[in-house]
Amino acid sequence: MKIKVLLFAHLQEEAGKGEVELELQGDTVKELMAVMEKEYRLTRLPQAMIAVNEEFADEETVLKEGDSVAILPPVSGG
Amino acid sequence: MNSCSITREPIKVEEIASRVTRPEAGAVALFIGTVRELTGDKRTLYLEYQAYEAMAVKKLEQIRTEIGERWPDAQVVIVHRIGRLEITDIAVAIAVSTPHRDSAYEANRYAIERIKEIVPIWKKEHWEDGEEWIGNQKGTQEYKTGKPEVTEIEN
């Protein structure tokens, strides 16, 4: 299924773009993260938070066609 | 007008304070977060803020809701700026009004601490000899579950 992945901060620079569309074989966030790590050589992923459709999720969250998954490095606003 | 927002324009603090000022309130606590030049022995030239805007606004509104649950008399406005910010520019402004001062201070402190935990905004420090996205300012551990640690701030 097709999943939109949003990247921020250092992850965006590592991937060279802030948004990628992925054809995912599995259906969990964990599987998506493994693909992202391998294909885009993203670093410090274990420290990242995950949001699915703008709400915090976790590795076991099950994805569905068309979901937007954001990979969020530790935040530093304020 | 929405109570919480992300902006690319300079933040006008008087306008933000005025939005919570009302007859029932005897206190308005205004927090202004500004761009600091020195962090340890590093001299910052300027900062670059980035946000996951749609979610950031939702999370700022969530903080407003949390404050409403803890301090029911409080009114809150939070504005965070993104883009390139120079030294002393205002990055964030939080205005809280309450009938009495104690809860205005407490709720305002709660808001900035929560921003640093759950709002998807990042800053990149630019120095003379390099640049780096800053994270983990609160010294929290790895987010093993993928979710932020939700720690209660003692009132």
CA angle B91, B92, B98 (to 5 degrees): 160
Length of chain B: 155
Chain B residue with minimal CA distance to A18? B52
Chain A residue with minimal CA distance to B57? A54
One-letter amino acid at B113 equals E
Convert the pLDDT of each residue in A16-72 to its tens digit. 999 999 999 999 999 999 999 999 999 999 999 999 999 999 999 999 999 999 999
Output the six-digit token pair for A39.
């294909």
- Report yes or no: A77 at the B interface, CB cutoff 8 Å: yes
Residues of A in contact with B48 (CB under 8 A): none
The answer to whether residues B81 and B60 touch, using CB atoms and an 8 Å cutoff, is no
Nearest to B121 among A54, A55, A77 (CB): A77
Backbone angles phi, psi at B27, to 5 degrees: -145, 135
Determine the pLDDT at residue A32: 97
Question: B67: phi > 0 → left, psi -120 to 50 → alpha, else beta; which?
Answer: alpha
Domain topology for B4-134: Aldehyde Oxidoreductase; domain 3 (3.90.1170)
Q: B119: distance to nearest CA of chain A, Å?
A: 7
CB contact under 8 A, B147 and A58: yes
CB contact under 8 A, B80 and A56: no
Convert the pLDDT of each residue in B5-43 to its tens digit. 999 999 999 999 999 999 999 999 999 999 999 988 899
One-letter amino acid at A69 equals V
Q: Which residue has the tokens 């250092």?
A: A10
Q: Which residue in B123, B109, B118, B112 sits closest to B143, CA to CA?
A: B118
CB contact under 8 A, B116 and A77: yes
What distance lies between CA B34 and its chain's CA centroid? Answer: 11
- Report yes or no: A29 at the B interface, CB cutoff 8 Å: yes
Q: Which residue in B60, B70, B75, B44 sits closest to B5, CA to CA?
A: B60
Which residue ranges form the domains of chain A, and what is each CATH number? 2-72 (3.10.20.30)
What distance lies between CA B131 and its chain's CA centroid? Answer: 22
Look up the ipTM and state it.
Answer: 0.95
Backbone angles phi, psi at B34, to 5 degrees: -120, 165
Question: A18: phi > 0 → left, psi -120 to 50 → alpha, else beta; which?
Answer: alpha
Determine the pLDDT at residue B49: 98
Output the six-digit token pair for B142.
């790895």
Chain A residue with minimal CA distance to B149? A49
Residues of B in contact with A74 (CB under 8 A): 135-137, 140, 143
- The rounded distance, in Å, linking the Cα atoms of A46 and A51 is 14
Residue B144 banded pLDDT, cuts 50, 70, 90: very low
Residues of A in contact with B115 (CB under 8 A): 77-78
- Report yes or no: A49 at the B interface, CB cutoff 8 Å: yes
pTM: 0.90
